[in-house]
Amino acid sequence: MRNPFPLSIIAFISLFATPSLAQAPLDTAEIEQVFGIKGTLIPGENVFKITRARSDVKVQVDGQVLPPFMGLGSWAAFTPAAHGGTMVMGDTVLFEDEVNPAMSAALDNGLEVTALHNHFFFDEPKVYFMHIAGMGDADALAGGVKAVWDKVSQIRTANPVPAKAFAPPAIGSENAIAAGPLESILGVKGQASQGMFKVVIGRPATMHGTQVGKEMGINTWAAFAGRDEDAVIDGDFAMTESELQTVLKAMRRESISIVAIHQHMSGEEPRILFLHYWAKGSASALAQAFKHVLDAQAALAK
């Protein structure tokens, strides 16, 4: 049957019915101005990349001095987003005392933190890598990354040698945590052992069609040691990808330090990420902080 529409009309309709592959060019000069650093345009991928070597602290891996070229470079890459605006992805090289201030700077400036982990064994000082992402205005995204890098510079200017411990006080070796008050705060029964206390909260998932849950490792847990007035909490927090940023922001509001963000399995439904953490204070204050994070996560399901 003869097509009733002229080819010119069909072409006009197709122009608007099919997403355009053409994207607005990045204002690379403005991004460079935000950073005060020259970047590199990669035309083949339409990406503009800013890099900064971590050469301010000498790092050894397995006894060998590691030059920045071997993986000690922070970077942020910008590309036009498919539906307007700009996407940024990046990786920031951090020492232990820089991680949580840098993470707070990222979250406070509209960026997402998507992973935190190590790349080396037997490194001195220990090096961590914080991955970030974001969507929006290129200038705002560049400003967010710059705020992270500026925070790192402030820390190293004040203390050129990376710290080797959390801020005082140190927690003694004697454990005497009272379980009852913490169970009342958390609303969960826990386990007591040798003066320590732990709660474990499971959530359902499937792997390869098999139901898995708390005892198969799909759980959030918190362990308390020390004394009631001077305690430490550490643990693991299980969450879906859509919950990660909310949990991170809640933890940082409560001054809980994040020490790792990663996955523990593959092929699970829904995909579960795990966040490891550490904090010091009175046991009751730590339990309340942990409960606030649980409540922030639970509010997402309402």
Residue corresponding to tokens 């386990």: 191
Specify whether the CB–CB gap between 276 and 234 falls below 8 A. yes
Q: What is the pLDDT along the chain (302 residues), one digit of tens a residue?
A: 445 444 444 444 444 444 444 566 789 999 999 999 999 999 999 999 999 999 999 999 999 999 999 999 999 999 999 989 999 999 999 999 999 999 999 999 999 999 999 999 999 999 999 999 999 999 999 999 999 999 999 999 999 999 999 988 888 789 999 999 999 999 999 999 999 999 999 999 999 999 999 999 999 999 999 999 999 999 999 999 999 999 999 999 999 999 999 999 999 999 999 999 999 999 999 999 999 999 999 999 88
Domain boundaries in the chain? Answer: 22-158, 179-299
**Topology of the domain covering 179-299:** Alpha-Beta Plaits (3.30.70)
**Residue 25: per-residue pLDDT:** 79
**Topology of the domain covering 22-158:** Yope Regulator; Chain: A, (3.30.1460)
Cα 233 from Cα 177, distance rounded (Å) = 11
**Residue 8: per-residue pLDDT:** 46
DSSP 138-205: HHHHHHHHHHHHHHHHHHHHH-SSPPSSPSSPPPPS--B--HHHHHHHHTS--EEETTEEEEEEE--E
**Residue 15: per-residue pLDDT:** 42
